[in-house]
Amino acid sequence: MALSPAERAYIYDSLVSPQVARTDSRKPTQFRPLKATCSFLPNSNGSSRISTVDGLECITSVKASVLRTNNIDELIQVDVDIQGQRDDSDLCVGISSVLSRALTSNMDRSKLRLTDKYSFQLFIDVVVLSIPVDFQTSSYTLYSLISLASMGCYLALRSTKLPLLVSTTNDKEVEEEPTFSDDWESCVDLIPNDSDALPTLMFVVGIVGNNVIADPSLEEQQVAESGMCIGYNKGNIAAPVQSVSLSTVDGRGFSEKALLRSFDLVRQMGSAVTNALDTIAAQNPGEVEAAF
């Protein structure tokens, strides 16, 4: 929905003022309400479903395949499918690229190595079920979906279970395919609770003057002078980090002060979102739905 000049001026003045007033009454550090659940797809090693109050919704599935290590180009393959978009569209390819960089930058690849010759390869499929009409021609769609999809991937990977290997890990001299336990109760977590190698989350920050706002809405992005797409991992800023253009407003860039504020904002927001996602992943499969 395009804003009139009067609406644009009003929202801009509200966001640039010392006491930031957002269109939906959120605090500058507050994320939109989200609903999420995990481990509900029986044929996947891990899965999640996450949606926003705006109507955006995506399902993420993680499946593991056993292949010879020398036949695997990438241990993690990310594929994004968006309703109404071609598989090779800029939107699908762009989100897949950002997610691939974010997820592979901090993953513990040793967890995927089975034997001297074999490894697990992870296939992460992100399916966006719906995009509201107002979003379909806006850059808001791209950056909102990156943030939403990264949280879906994080939750799906945190809930991913892998079968227990019962055959030998030393198969250099013997031609033997890996054998797994038939008891699914003995499966192992891809990412244990005490792991330091967590998936990277991606967040979008809007910059208006020297003020920064978390997860800007469609109206807020139309008046934002600039924005940042920032990775977060275990309390720290992580790659990829990139400047993004959220609107057609004359881009005046941003100051070093605004950049540092963006990093501080992501640290605060990332901690809250990570704790919420970890709480959901720790519950029994398919039984959790929480808003944060």
Q: Is residue 238 scored above 70 in pLDDT?
A: yes
Segment 11-23, tens digit of pLDDT: 989 998 989 999 8
> Total domain count for the chain?
1
pTM: 0.88
In a domain, 7, yes or no: no
In a domain, 106, yes or no: yes
Q: Is residue 134 scored above 80 in pLDDT?
A: no
In a domain, 6, yes or no: no
- Which residue range is the domain that position 94 belongs to? 12-170+180-286
Task: Band the pLDDT of 137: cuts 50, 70, 90.
Answer: very low
- For a pLDDT cut of 90, what percent of the chain falls above it? 26
In a domain, 292, yes or no: no
In a domain, 5, yes or no: no
Dihedral, CA of residue 261, residue 264, residue 266 and residue 272, to nearest 10: -140
In a domain, 91, yes or no: yes
In a domain, 2, yes or no: no
Higher pLDDT, 273 or 196: 273
Q: Is residue 135 scored above 80 in pLDDT?
A: no
Strands (E) in 176-235, as ranges, are: 188-189, 201-208, 211-214, 226-233
Averaged pLDDT for residues 230-236: 91
Averaged pLDDT for residues 49-70: 88
Task: Band the pLDDT of 284: cuts 50, 70, 90.
Answer: low
Averaged pLDDT for residues 122-147: 71
Q: What are phi and psi of 241, to 5 degrees?
A: -125, 125
Pinpoint the alpha helices (H) of the chain: 5-16, 90-104, 139-158, 218-223, 256-281
What is the pLDDT at residue 283?
76
Best-predicted range by mean pLDDT (74-83, 130-139, 194-203, 261-270): 261-270
CATH of the domain at 281: 3.30.230.70
Averaged pLDDT for residues 57-72: 90
Please give the mean pLDDT across all residues of the chain.
84
Task: Band the pLDDT of 130: cuts 50, 70, 90.
Answer: low
Task: Band the pLDDT of 247: cuts 50, 70, 90.
Answer: low
Q: Are 246 and 224 in contact (CB under 8 A)?
A: yes
Segment 190-229, tens digit of pLDDT: 988 888 888 999 998 989 888 999 988 888 888 888 888 8
